[in-house]
Amino acid sequence: MTVAEWIAQHPGLAVTVPCDWSLEQIVNRMLEEPYLRDLYVIAENRRVVGHLSHKKLAELVLAEHRPMHTRRQFMHRVAGGTSREFMDAHFVSAHPDEELDNVLHRQLEHDMEDMPVIDDQGQLVGTVNLSTVLREFYRDDHEA
């Protein structure tokens, strides 16, 4: 089964934010969805240019409560910034034409719950959620 076929049957939560959003806007968007753990930063052409994890946002927001700060954390806290400045520009993703088995293997290697699926135009078409895959495989095994 390809990733595109999987997403058609199991659309995952894939949320994007513009490059120029403030930390406050980003956190508010993430908190709107109780189980959201990843946001994807998009340029004006809707092309995905970066990734923001729940963990990274928590570190930025809670930085003042940490006893030690790196210089970068301190600068982000003092200067504010935008989603483009906070994002990770290099992240693991899948392509819609890939086989689901290959993507699952990469997810397990990288300890990822959600794998973003990005098409040839660089646009986010969905995510492959590891828990959803496990539920489906488990259900199929027990129904057989």
For the chain, domains (ranges, CATH) are 3-143 (3.10.580.10)
pLDDT at res. 125: 95
Query: Does the structure show a pLDDT above 70 at 67?
Result: no
For the chain, give the mean pLDDT. Answer: 87
pLDDT digits (tens, 9 = 90+) for 85-121: 889 999 999 999 999 999 999 999 998 999 999 999 9
73-102 burial: b if 16+ Cβ within 10 Å, else e = eeebbeeebbbbebbeeebebbebebebee
Query: Does the structure show a pLDDT above 70 at 128?
Result: yes
Select from 62, 47, 27, 38 the least CA-distant residue to 128: 38
Contact, 42 vs 48, CB < 8 A? yes
- Residues 84, 86, 92, 97, Cα dihedral to 10°: -30
